[in-house]
Amino acid sequence: MNALTRFFRAPWTFWIALLLITWALSTWSFPLYKALDARWIIRFPAQLQVPLDVWLTAFFKWLQNDADLFLFTFRDLTRFLSSLIEWPYDQVRALMADGFESGQGSNAVEIAPPLSWIAVIFILIALGRYARDWWLAALVGGCFVYLAVFGQWDSAMVTLSSVIIAVPIGVALGLGIGILTYRSLWFDRLIRPLLDLMQTVPVFAYLVPVLVLFGFGPVAALIATLIYATPPMVRIASLALKSVPTEVVEAGRIVGCTERQMMWRVLVPSAMPTLMVGVNQVIMLTLNMVIIASMIGAGGLGFDVLSALRRLDIGGGIEAGVAIVVMAIALDRLSQAFVRRPPSAILPADLGTLRRHPWLVTTLVVVVVTYLLGLFLPAVQSYPAALTLTTGTFWSDAMEWININYFDTFEAVKSFFLTVLLLPVKRFFSGIPWAWGIIAMGLAAWRVGGWRLGLMAALMTTFIAASGFWAKAMITIYLCGVSVLIAYAIGVPLGIWAGQNTRVNSVVGAIMDTLQTLPSFVYLIPVVMLFRVGDFSAMIAIVLYALAPAVRYAAHGIRSIDPQMIEAGLVSGCTPRQLLWRVKLPLAAPSLLLGLNQTIMLALSMLVITALVGTRDLGQEVYIALTKADTGHGIVAGLCVAFIAIIADRILTALSKSSKQRVEAA
Amino acid sequence: MQRKVKLTCQNVWKLYGAHADGLLKGDTQPNDADLQRTNTIGAVRDASLEIGEGEIYVIMGLSGSGKSTLVRCLSRLIEPTAGKITFDGEDLLAMSPKQLIDLRRTKIGMVFQHFALLPHLTVLQNVSFPLDIQGVDRVTRETRAMEMITTVGLEGRENYFPNQLSGGQQQRVGIARSLVGDPEIWFLDEPFSALDPLIRREMQDEFLRLQSLLKKTIVFITHDFDEAIRLADRIAVMKDGRIEQIATPEQLILHPASDYVAEFTQHIAREKVLSLRSIATPDMTAGEFAGDLSGSLKVAEAADVIEGANAPFRVLDEDGTPIGQVTSEIVIDVLIGRTHR
Ligand SMILES: Nc1ncnc2c1ncn2[C@@H]1O[C@H](COP(=O)(O)OP(=O)(O)OP(=O)(O)O)[C@@H](O)[C@H]1O
Ligand SMILES: [Mg+2]
């Protein structure tokens, strides 16, 4: 009797029971439905489904066609917004890629060519030198020389133009909204859940409404990019302003700053290092999104990859993919160098422009000289086509060789994983009846974070079931779950190893840095080439993409343990193994949980992109909606993904909070 | 020694918590139980003080006793929950934002515990910042800032950034910045607490030297009783948001108002604080004196002389009138810290 009560009291009894019931119901739900002839067990009753998607589609139709905002129509508003972005975009694109023209269409006459490739590379080298040193200058210059030599220049400049337009707008918008959240607590409260949602809704989901409202083309792509890249800047700006030390704010007040002086002379400059981290983020997110947005007309490198993937042109895809990577690395390192740049020494004003701004002056001279020379020497203007190298055939041959020689090996690996791991898990999740799914989710969340969290989780799960996406959502969870499991199983040991060994740490750190720099799109290319389309390919791409936070947080958690704790363990005679399991891991638990949280978020965002390689989850629903321009369908499927992400995030946050309390209480 | 009153506060309260305002409605004053019940923190409770012109007024108390909060109420960096504050007789709490900005630009300077320098500005730019935001032209403000930089002994480092300076140097910049507008009142919130003991000592000397030149009205916050004793004309001792006692250093040592205050005074080298005036006994019955001593001499300075003689000394006031006598027994009492015979 006593043993029995103890069993029910034990903390893990709840979880075992929950798992067992879920497993039983999942296994028997189909026979049960047959036996009782109750179809509602496995399918959400159609008459109860909420046609939210239909309503949304109708709403967007109305917005686009009939909505009248008194003085102007909604369509005028979208047109106005597009023209606001279109004009500067056209100018930058003309400067970087197309050249300036007068006249329309076939009558167009070129007035001036775009910046010559030499000038662009020189500007980047100058920026690298200015931001840090000659090494960086060489790296950045080298990256862009690569783009020229390997024939990716034109597409790269189109992509770069989008980045050049999107980054300042994104940064300014983010900073502006961040300032508002700093000034008004009320606004901060209002905007926070919105930011949460924007960062968890998969990117494809807002490609759809943007496409519907703004039409296919680079402007729509830029707007989608801004929607994607601005929220993190808002967060960082808000955080940066709030973490300016109170004393500095008070110092500003006591010397008599006005509100405006306070913001622009004290707060923003003091927060600058953190704000620059935000700028780096915006650049990387923009690059990532500009490539995804090639689906709605961004053009450039992303378009090259996309069309190569569609044609299954292995060489072309890899070439463009590598070009994206090269550009991403160059922009990332450059902007990071600006983040870390110490303030420059003040030079006396009477030194003359040349002495004070040697780089600016030289760069201007180079631009003008190459422009003039370019008028006579085409090789100065654009890199001579005859000298470009192509790696396309090399990649194709390499892939072919691998496929011929190792096809069986790859197939064996793939089918092993499929039969042992993927399919059983898929069967388990797909079998869960929706009604129990809601209850189980609610119970789990309640257990971890109290009744509020339980209720929220149950409601969100109900939304998923009621919008008719239950089956797809389960596939999403299965694919995400398996990938996270594997990413975590690889990442945490790696992180622990790196956390205990500085040499390993620098190597692993560098690899993770590079992995995180790559736009998500790029991961698909090699995976598809080697494993064809399907769940397994998707899983590998997700694991690669989501690996970094698992490693990072584990390493960070181990490294930030108070050395005294470890000494205490050593003094009491722990073996290295005991030290790891009994001291380090429990102390690093909050950090490990945070890493898990981040891994899940990245996995979900990648999952949606893997719809391109033929998974059958919510991502695919969004993707289908995109191709059909079905707004409501896309948004609702996107919201489902967001809800899954939010539930996972809240549960893990609650877990990590309680484990943190435990660690700190000790 | 009657001074003109510069800054006063009467019955100032600062409460933190959801019910802060409600607790001070009308004339009621919340007690400990009220605060506990409503989950309110009484950072400053019913504080009243009066600061004279040219005075060094030290506010002393342990960490968390409400010193910073009180001084921020005095400069209205924090709005007090209740109470009255006057500056040169004017109601500070009634001032409009614009008046407040004007007042701060011209009459108030403040030094912070963690220096609060702007990281993106050089020493010169930091020091001239208060003038810059008032729109003073570049040449004037930089000339003035250079004067201040020289006064605090940082010449030659004006183009350094704060992170290239040591803590002591950074605080010198903070001091220069707070003085560049030639304020009438100078707030210092634990200005030397973040510094090493040796540098702290050096900075205290520096501070006294500056004050002997500038003669500002000073509100100086510290949690270090030695520092308070060394610098203060008067000390207000705070505990849990309340002011326990306001007195000169000598009175504080001779007549602590509570055990809490007495606790601080115990480990103080009394002979360096107490003057002959305060220990002299009024009876002058000895008939024969070894000599005359000025009342303002500290015990430590006169101890050798007094103990060397076999008769008591007569203690004289500033204007030469005798006020009492000191014997070697009394001096020994002070030196060994005996308070009752
Ligand atoms: N913004 C705030 N919200 C809530 N409580 C506060 C706030 N500011 C101060 N307090 C509380 O008021 C009390 C007094 O704080 P204050 O900073 O004035 O102390 P202090 O004497 O300056 O201490 P220290 O020597 O550590 O600087 C403390 O208990 C503190 O927790
Ligand atoms: Mg303080």
User: Under a CB-based contact definition with an 8 Å cutoff, are residues A195 and A231 in contact?
Assistant: yes
Cα of B41 vs centre of ligand 1, distance in Å, is 9
Q: Is B79 in the pocket of ligand 1 (CB under 6 A)?
A: no
- Residue A355: what pLDDT? 65
Neighbours of ion ligand 2 (CB under 5 A): B 68
- Phi, psi angle pair for A71, to nearest 5°: -80, -30
Contacts of A342 in chain B (CB under 8 A): 161
Q: Is B168 in the pocket of ligand 1 (CB under 6 A)?
A: no
Contacts of A257 in chain B (CB under 8 A): 101, 133
- Residue A351: what pLDDT? 61
Judge: B116–A255 Cβ closer than 8 Å, yes or no: no
User: What letter represents residue B10's amino acid?
Assistant: Q
| Residues A410, A201: Cα–Cα separation, whole Å | 34
| Residues B35, A327: Cα–Cα separation, whole Å | 61
Tens of pLDDT along B72-117?
999 999 999 989 999 998 999 999 999 999 999 999 999 998 989 9
- CATH number of the domain to which A546 belongs: 1.10.3720.10
| Residues A142, A333: Cα–Cα separation, whole Å | 13
Judge: B112–A253 Cβ closer than 8 Å, yes or no: no
Q: Which residue of A has its CA nearest to B131?
A: A255
| Residues B213, B182: Cα–Cα separation, whole Å | 12
Tell me the pLDDT of chain A averaged across its residues: 82
Residues 6+ apart with CB under 8 A from A264: none
Contacts of A251 in chain B (CB under 8 A): 110, 112, 116-118, 177
Mutate to test the interface with A, among B115, B133, B171 (most CBs of A within 10 A): B133
Q: Is B63 in the pocket of ligand 1 (CB under 6 A)?
A: yes
User: Under a CB-based contact definition with an 8 Å cutoff, are residues A119 and A153 in contact?
Assistant: no
Judge: A251–B110 Cβ closer than 8 Å, yes or no: yes
Cα of A628 vs centre of ligand 2, distance in Å, is 63
Judge: B130–A256 Cβ closer than 8 Å, yes or no: yes
Residue from the list B105, B116, B120 with its beta carbon closest to the beta carbon of A256: B105
Looking at CA atoms only, how far is residue A260 from chain B in angstroms?
11
Tally Cβ neighbours within 10 Å of residue B173.
26
β-pairing, B234-239 vs B56-61, is parallel
Strand order in the sheet with B291-294: B291-294, B313-316, B322-326
Residue with the nearest Cα to atom 14 of ligand 1?
Answer: B66
Residues 6+ apart with CB under 8 A from A191: A177, A180, A181, A234
Over the range B311-330, which residues count as b (16 or more CB within 10 Å of their CB) and which as e?
ebbbbbeeeeeeebbbbbeb
- Residue B57: what pLDDT? 94
User: Under a CB-based contact definition with an 8 Å cutoff, are residues A505 and A561 in contact?
Assistant: no
Is B38 in the A-facing interface, judged by CB distances under 8 Å? no
Strand order in the sheet with B90-91: B41-52, B5-16, B82-87, B90-91
Q: What is the number of the ligand closest to the CA of B112?
A: 2
Q: What is the pTM of this model?
A: 0.82
User: Under a CB-based contact definition with an 8 Å cutoff, are residues A267 and A159 in contact?
Assistant: no
Judge: A250–B112 Cβ closer than 8 Å, yes or no: yes
| Residues A4, A19: Cα–Cα separation, whole Å | 19
Q: Is B69 in the pocket of ligand 1 (CB under 6 A)?
A: yes
Residue from the list A247, A270, A346 with its beta carbon closest to the beta carbon of B113: A247
- Phi, psi angle pair for B236, to nearest 5°: -110, 120
Surface-to-core class of residue A542, CB atoms within 10 Å of its CB (0-12 exposed, 13-18 middle, 19+ buried)? buried
- Residue A349: what pLDDT? 57
Site to probe by mutation for ligand 1, drawn from B58, B65, B189, B221 as the one with most ligand atoms within 8 Å of Cβ, is B65
In a domain, B207, yes or no: no
Tens of pLDDT along A441-452?
888 888 888 888
Q: Which atom of ligand 1 sits closest to the CA of residue B238?
A: 21
Helix B138-151, helix B123-133: angle, nearest 10: 130
Look at chain B and report how many structural domains it folds into.
1
Of A432, A446, A427, A426, nearest in space to A21 by CA: A432
Contacts of B171 in chain A (CB under 8 A): none
CA dist A92 → A283, A298, B11 (Å)? 17, 14, 64
Tally Cβ neighbours within 10 Å of residue A165.
25
| Residues B20, B310: Cα–Cα separation, whole Å | 64
State whether residue A489 is helix, strand or coil.
Answer: helix
| Residues A606, A202: Cα–Cα separation, whole Å | 9
| B193 sits in which H/E element | none
| Residues A269, A253: Cα–Cα separation, whole Å | 15
User: Under a CB-based contact definition with an 8 Å cutoff, are residues A524 and A610 in contact?
Assistant: yes
Is A346 in the B-facing interface, judged by CB distances under 8 Å? yes
| Residues B299, B280: Cα–Cα separation, whole Å | 10
What sign does the dihedral A388-A394-A395-A400 (CA atoms) show? positive
Surface-to-core class of residue A463, CB atoms within 10 Å of its CB (0-12 exposed, 13-18 middle, 19+ buried)? middle
- Phi, psi angle pair for A133, to nearest 5°: -160, -175
Name the token pair of B194: 């973040």
Contacts of B71 in chain A (CB under 8 A): none
In the block, tokens 């007690």 appear at B31
In a domain, A376, yes or no: no
Cα of B189 vs centre of ligand 2, distance in Å, is 7
Which bin fits B322, alpha (ψ -120 to 50), beta or left (φ > 0)?
beta
Tens of pLDDT along B138-180?
999 999 999 999 988 888 898 899 988 988 899 999 999 999 9
| Residues A426, A630: Cα–Cα separation, whole Å | 28
Q: What is the number of the ligand closest to the CA of B40?
A: 1
Alpha-helix runs per DSSP H in A293-377:
300-311, 314-340, 353-356, 358-376
Residues 6+ apart with CB under 8 A from A389: A149, A150, A151
Tens of pLDDT along A58-89?
887 777 777 777 777 777 777 888 888 888 88
Residue from the list A255, A270, A343 with its beta carbon closest to the beta carbon of B130: A255
Site to probe by mutation for ligand 1, drawn from B12, B13, B15, B16 as the one with most ligand atoms within 8 Å of Cβ, is B16
pLDDT band at B327; cut points 50, 70, 90: confident
Looking at CA atoms only, how far is residue A340 from chain B in angstroms?
13
| Residues A334, A332: Cα–Cα separation, whole Å | 5
Domain with B290, as residue range(s), is 271-336
Residue from the list A245, A255, A272 with its beta carbon closest to the beta carbon of B129: A255
Of A592, A603, A594, nearest in space to A495 by CA: A592
Residue from the list A245, A343, A346 with its beta carbon closest to the beta carbon of B116: A245
ipTM (interface pTM):
0.88
In a domain, A458, yes or no: yes
- Residue A3: what pLDDT? 65
User: Under a CB-based contact definition with an 8 Å cutoff, are residues B241 and B44 in contact?
Assistant: yes
CA angle B124, B68, B207 (to 5 degrees): 50
Judge: A255–B105 Cβ closer than 8 Å, yes or no: yes
In the block, tokens 């890199």 appear at A383
What are the helix and strand counts (H, E) for chain A? Answer: 31, 4
Judge: B102–A256 Cβ closer than 8 Å, yes or no: yes
How many residue contacts between A and B have a Cβ separation below 8 Å?
68
Of A460, A469, A480, nearest in space to A637 by CA: A469
Residue with the nearest Cα to atom 31 of ligand 1?
Answer: B64
Tens of pLDDT along B241-293?
999 999 998 888 888 888 888 888 887 878 778 888 888 888 776 677 878 88
Low-confidence ranges of chain A (pLDDT < 50): none
Judge: A261–B133 Cβ closer than 8 Å, yes or no: yes
Mind giving me the DSSP string for A496-509?
A: HHHHH-HHHHHHHH
In the block, tokens 């189980």 appear at A440
Tally Cβ neighbours within 10 Å of residue A176.
13
Look at chain A and report how many structural domains it folds into.
1
Half-sphere exposure of residue A340: CA atoms within 13 angstroms, side-chain side: 9
Tally Cβ neighbours within 10 Å of residue A65.
10
Residue with the nearest Cα to atom 28 of ligand 1?
Answer: B64
In the block, tokens 């560098």 appear at A510
- CATH number of the domain to which B321 belongs: 3.10.580.10
Tally Cβ neighbours within 10 Å of residue B199.
17
Cα of B179 vs centre of ligand 1, distance in Å, is 26
- Residue B103: what pLDDT? 92
In a domain, B13, yes or no: no
Domain with A530, as residue range(s), is 14-43+410-665
Residues 6+ apart with CB under 8 A from A397: none
- Phi, psi angle pair for B102, to nearest 5°: -60, -45
| Residues B254, B275: Cα–Cα separation, whole Å | 11
β-pairing, B217-222 vs A72-73, is unpaired
Q: Is B298 in the pocket of ligand 1 (CB under 6 A)?
A: no
Q: Is B94 in the pocket of ligand 1 (CB under 6 A)?
A: no
Whether residue B1 is predicted with pLDDT greater than 60 in this model: the reply is no
Name the token pair of A581: 């399991």
| Residues A482, A360: Cα–Cα separation, whole Å | 52
